Structure 1
């Protein structure tokens, strides 16, 4: 599957908007973790289930280790697209930046016409928002992102 078409700026904007709508404010470092979490179809499906309860990033990784084996690669593969989506969301006044944090300016209204993938992402955004409440350094360390 061509990730360039599967994870385009539209899907990335939906993912960021959906999570930021719940979190209200996140650092850029945390926002850049959103799309790598959604590039795994299996991880997105797991996070979108109503029965999935997120306790911590460590617990999620230990339960679903294979889904995180290439997270560093997914992080760098989605980096440019995430930055472009952030720029688009800023230009449309959906989000703003204050003191290095991205702030949600408007509630994200999901519509079924956005598609099945966007629906899964929207459903999973609650769990992703919970994950991103953790310390940034802890997230990057546990996800093994090489900076």
Structure 2
């Protein structure tokens, strides 16, 4: 058994919370993470950790997903809608494990590779799931996929500045 397989089995054996909720988060998280990274081609691991706290926040996805809304950066989002990022540090840490698991899942499925420098690169440039129809994947996943290009634009800054603007306490 590979190291990843052993890690996944170990995590599965240690679950004490609702397993449906965990798999749902990691499945949607993998879809969200792949959809965003696909628009960028590659991304540092540090930036990838910021994807789920944004993609899993329904108000952010709704706001940036509107046809009449154009947000080009985290700074612009902070100026326009500071309330959407007010609790980002808490969301970041509550989703940190899920983010790491999503990267591991995508790497194990050979959709992404991780370089020795920590850069995540797309291997297969195709849709992670074959359809984005709401009735097949659910409205939440569909909204996240449809907003992935706008979410990707938010990462067009250096990683130190992103963490500073989002007030992530390391």
Same fold (TM over 0.5): yes
| Structure 1: 5+ residue stretches without partners | none
Consecutive unaligned residues in structure 2, runs of 5 or more: 1-17
8 Å contact from structure 1 (residues 18, 125) kept in 2: yes
1:103 matched to 2:121? The reply is: yes
Match among 133, 140, 146 for residue 163 of structure 2:
140
Matched, 1:23 2:40: yes
Q: How many equivalent pairs are there? A: 145
Q: Could you report, residue by residue, the CA deviation over 1:103-134 in whole angstroms, capped at 9, with x for unpaired residues?
A: 01112425122211111101111111111121
In structure 2, how many angstroms separate the alpha carbons of the residues matched to 1:108 and 1:116?
A: 21
Tell me what 2:63 maps to.
Answer: 46
1:56: how far off? 2.3
Alignment of 1:70-109 (within 5 A): 70-98=87-115, 99-109=117-127
Determine which structure has greater relative contact order: mean sequence separation of CA pairs < 8 Å that are 6+ residues apart, divided by chain length: 1
Answer yes or no: is the 8 Å Cα contact 1:37–1:43 preserved in 2.
yes
Of the two, which has the highest radius of gyration? Answer: 2
Q: CA deviation at 1:15?
A: 0.5
Distance 1:55 1:48 in 2: 12
Give the alignment's TM-score, normalised by structure 1. Answer: 0.92
Residues 41, 121 of structure 2: 8 Å contact kept: yes
Q: Which stretch shifts more, 55-64 or 107-116? A: 107-116
Q: Give the alignment partner of residue 142 of structure 2, picking from 98, 110, 119.
A: 119
